[in-house]
Structure 1
Amino acid sequence: MNPTDWLDRLPDPAPLLDWSGLPLDLASLAVLAAGLGWASGLRLYALVFALGALGRFGGVQLPGGLEVLTHSWVLGLSGLMLFAEFFADKLPWLDSLWDGLHTFIRIPAGAALAAGVMGDQGAATQVIAGLLGGSLAAGTHLAKAGARAAINTSPEPVSNVLASFGEDAMFLGGLWLLFTNPLWFALGLLVFVLFAVALIVLLWRFVKRIFRPRQRPATS
């Protein structure tokens, strides 16, 4: 018996998304690209670590160019940054500083991850996926950062911590739904986008009202 015969009996890696046999391979990749863009704007390091761990230890087949996330250095660095972000995100005003710095990281990372999903689908599809992922990362990041900045105007820290744990729960729930029920995730993402757009508009109006020059009373 060949010592390596046991390798041939191992099951093939499971795909990251399961559409229950539906012939929607490109559609499933598009939902995955959109989901990674959304998650990048919310919890980038947790996303990178989770994907890398699933590919490295969970027997999951990462599509396109995402296989690089299973590298030891990527796993180690993303795990370290995940640990730092978990605590930084729960400290008032430090979370807004963290969000401000990560404006230049989450958005391009979301675009890169979404494009990586389409690594085997051609350059044009990669560009489209990158634009989709970057746009969703930007919208999610702006809604998150704006909401947290508004919450930080409150003197008590409890609301900030609750908001951070709420984002953690949203990220974990969204990721689980993306991997197990992509169709439901797509519907939920549509609702989230509509809510995020409305929130960004309200926050923008609030900021404009704060910085609008006050009219001086007319003198007789």
Structure 2
Amino acid sequence: MSVSVLPLVFTSGWASGVNAYAVVLLLGVFGATGVTDQVPDALQRPDVLIVAGVLFLCEAVADKIPYVDSVWDSVHTVIRPIAGAVVGALLAGQSGSLPDIAAGAIGGSSALLSHVVKAGTRMAVNTSPEPFSNIALSTAEDLGVAALISFAIFHPLAAAIIAGALLLLGLVTLVVLWRQIRRFRRRRAQRREEKRLAAAGATGPER
């Protein structure tokens, strides 16, 4: 057992903001199969694993459909941060090296930030008419969560550094994307107004 569970709490919080059900499922499986002793019994229960598995499959489908993914993200604006906080508190309780309240705050905060990045990025991607970008992004997110949680079990500090870098990169990317979208919309609105004025002038009364 690690001296401090803080890196794992932060990483699981970041991952919960992207896909909370995958985090619960992966941690539960790792704990139930004896891969690690850092996972609390509450996450290893068969009923928890079954529910997490079913909801993970639902998210895997909804997350790849344009606009449906944004609706799903809206519903999970509260669920993902809460999941990150609960998982963090449970991990801290299992370890005994970090107060539950502090772990919950860290897990919930990192989950909220990564959720904002995910939801905002999806809204930006949905401005594209084709569905392939959604499928590619969703698949990359699922694989990223699985890889980082698995890595965090064995190398928690390194995984936390990667999660922090991904969170920072995501926030910067989100800001850049929305600035570009705003500029594109302004230019499109300007062109429409110019066409409208041109059409109005062409059809105006002759003198």
- TMscore range, shorter length: 0.7 to 0.9
CA-to-partner distance for each residue in 1:111-135, whole Å, 9 max, x for gaps? Answer: 111111111538x722211111111
**C-alpha contact 2:77 2:115 (8 A) present in aligned 1:** yes
**C-alpha contact 1:142 1:200 (8 A) present in aligned 2:** no
Residue from 158, 162, 177 that aligns with 2:136: 162
**Residue in 2 that maps onto 1:52:** 28
Q: How far did 1:203 drift?
A: 5.1
Structure showing greater Rg: 2
Normalising to structure 1: TM-score of the pair?
A: 0.76
Q: Which runs of 5+ in 2 are unaligned?
A: 194-207
Q: How far did 1:85 drift?
A: 0.9
Normalising to structure 2: TM-score of the pair?
A: 0.80
**Residue in 1 that maps onto 2:17:** 41
How many angstroms apart in 2 are the aligned matches of 1:55 and 1:98?
28
* Number of residue equivalences: 188
**Residue in 2 that maps onto 1:92:** 66
**C-alpha contact 1:31 1:182 (8 A) present in aligned 2:** yes
More divergent stretch after superposition (67-76 vs 195-204): 195-204
Query: Over aligned residue pairs, what C-alpha RMSD do you find?
Result: 2.5
Q: Which runs of 5+ in 1 are unaligned?
A: 1-14, 16-23
How many angstroms apart in 1 are the aligned matches of 2:66 and 2:7?
34
**Residue in 2 that maps onto 1:76:** 50
How many angstroms apart in 1 are the aligned matches of 2:12 and 2:37?
16
**Which runs of at least 4 in structure 1 moved beyond 4 Å after TM superposition?**
203-211
Higher helix share: 2
Residue from 3, 22, 25 that aligns with 2:3: 25
CA-to-partner distance for each residue in 1:32-90, whole Å, 9 max, x for gaps? Answer: 11111011011111111111122223453134xx3101112111111111111111111
**Residue in 1 that maps onto 2:100:** 126
Letter in 2 for 1:185: A
How many angstroms apart in 2 are the aligned matches of 1:207 and 1:102?
24
How many angstroms apart in 2 are the aligned matches of 1:47 and 1:133?
12
**Residue in 2 that maps onto 1:10:** none
